[in-house]
Amino acid sequence: MKVALAQLNPTIGDFEGNRRLVLAATAQAEAGGAALAIFPELVLCGYPPKDLLERPAFIEAANASLQVLVTALADSGTAVLVGFPERLAATAGHGLSNSAALIDGGRIVHVARKSLLPTYDVFDEWRYFDPATDVAVTPFRGRRLGIAICEDIWNDADFWPHRRYRSDPIEALVKGGADLLINVSASPYTIDKRHLRPRMLAATARRWQRPLLFVNQVGGQDDLVFDGASLAIDATGTIVARGAEHATDLVLVDLAAPTAARLTSEPPGAPGSDELSALAALALGTRDYARRCGFSRALLGLSGGIDSALVAAIAARALGPQNVLGVAMPSRYSSPGSLRDAEALAKNLGIDFTVVSIEPMFAAYLETLAPALEAFASGGTPEAAAAAADLTAQNLQARVRGAILMALSNRQDRLLLSTGNKSEIATGYCTLYGDMAGGLAVISDVPKTLVYRLARALNADARLIPEATLTKAPSAELRPNQTDQDSLPPYDLLDAILEAHLTGGLDLPELVARGFDAAVARDVVRRVQQSEYKRRQMAPGLKITGKSFGPGRRYPIARL
């Protein structure tokens, strides 16, 4: 039997468009001789639909779309396994299931329902769905299918040292006689997961000595990026087919032999290194976010620094260089080299470039505000007063720049991309309504040390980012001779502390026990805690690590 793994890029709420994608892929699969085409989790409505699931009209539209699909497949020789939100006849609970329908010969012959509903990190499925009360093997053309949905396969006792759930749907399916395991997923991308997920799936196939087919969604949705990278794994745990990473794909797998054929023209396999993969994920997330929010063009501030250079390169890749505008906004503190680097970058990338000096506006702000700032200054030592005045002037410059960029965004109908990295955002080294202004925070989940790695990966084939940008000391250039390290620890140290604190969950005593300097660790943790209110107001940011500043981080703003 031949099976097609169809990784698609559905749009939330586009029932007609998503159905067209399914039908087009099914036609390709049938032409290739596939008996079965497998599609991602909730593909008919898109994932994650969040609170749209609480709207009756949304569920009705999803189920109506399923019925139209069933009718359209009446003459197809290829059966289809497709994800949809199913309304249950229940007197208690949510009355809704995360389900997958097996359609064969113009009728639904089986419905599989998700058993394990994740609530960690970005997931909140208990908010909407009821778990399956049982699992059942599905007879299909001489095979016995064990159909599971996403999280159902993430609870293998032999793989995980600590399991989140007491039950294992895969074990139940195998004991029920399944000879082929199928997992339909919408599994978001992270750099670590691109290594973990194949190992976990291979271990599951090897443990139960069953072939395993995994089909994953692809595309960007708000802060999440779905990487595709679907897999066919034989009963020994060997990967025999792999879908493209960060691209739609259709892969035909012959279960009778460890062979596979690609039915689309997409390049096979993964893009290579973690750095190249992360760049592809960020470009995909930016492209889909802009497109689904109604933008075809973008702009950003170009400072001559590495963060804005990386975001500009990602934007050019995502939207096309002709659709990206870089804006340099020098002040009295900007170095001539920074302006040259910004202009050189724009030329290398082929994006549009303009210069708007903030000096007249900054000077006007200082003059206009001087009486009020002096009259209502807080008390304290002269040193404290000078520090407050300095910080006020720095933030004014950032907010003038934010206003300029938003004006251009409004006038030209461009999506404003903010350029702050994860290290800065974590420690509050950013200005509300200034450099944090924007519609998408492209690299807000990219630590500064990774920013450098991604920039050098970009430059491996073509020197896009000027060498001076890569080698000069990072600086906001908001006061004379300023560098980031005036306020922050060296970035390699800072990122190590942030990784342990944010992802590892270690607080100050554990950080010191790990060997970090107590004073440095205390200052970093304090900055993280005090900056929560800023992050709550920032634009959505693309998630590529295990813990980002988005829906998966739920910390109180006001706390001791």
> Catalytic residues, which ones?
41, 114, 150
Cα–Cα distance measured from residue 288 to residue 55, given in angstroms and rounded to the nearest whole number: 24
Cα–Cα distance measured from residue 270 to residue 486, given in angstroms and rounded to the nearest whole number: 40
Cα–Cα distance measured from residue 242 to residue 270, given in angstroms and rounded to the nearest whole number: 8
Cα–Cα distance measured from residue 408 to residue 114, given in angstroms and rounded to the nearest whole number: 47
Q: Give me the residue label for tokens 């792999």.
A: 242
User: Of 491, 488, 443, 475, nearest to 341 (Cα)?
Assistant: 475
How many degrees, rounded to 5, is the angle at CA 140 between CA 206 and CA 35? 90
Beta strands in 482-552 (DSSP E): none
Strand partners, 249: 7
User: Of 289, 313, 291, nearest to 302 (Cα)?
Assistant: 313
Residue type, 496: A
Q: Give me the residue label for tokens 């907010």.
A: 399
User: Of 43, 39, 36, nearest to 17 (Cα)?
Assistant: 43
Residue 529: phi and psi, rounded to 5, are -65, -40
Q: Where are the alpha helices (DSSP H) in 157-192?
A: 169-175
Length of the chain (residues): 560
Q: What separation in angstroms does the CA of 25 have from each of 188, 252, 327, 460? A: 22, 11, 42, 36
Q: Is 272 left (phi over 0), alpha (psi -120 to 50) or beta?
A: left
| Token pair listed for 191 | 């750099």
Q: Percentage helix, strand, coil, to 5, in the chain?
A: 40, 20, 40
Cα–Cα distance measured from residue 447 to residue 426, given in angstroms and rounded to the nearest whole number: 9
Q: Is 502 in contact with 523 (CB distance < 8 Å)? A: no
Element (H, E) at 37: strand 36-38
| Token pair listed for 342 | 């910004």
User: Of 38, 47, 46, nearest to 7 (Cα)?
Assistant: 38
Cα–Cα distance measured from residue 510 to residue 522, given in angstroms and rounded to the nearest whole number: 11
Cα–Cα distance measured from residue 327 to residue 323, given in angstroms and rounded to the nearest whole number: 13
User: Of 102, 103, 98, 127, nearest to 114 (Cα)?
Assistant: 98
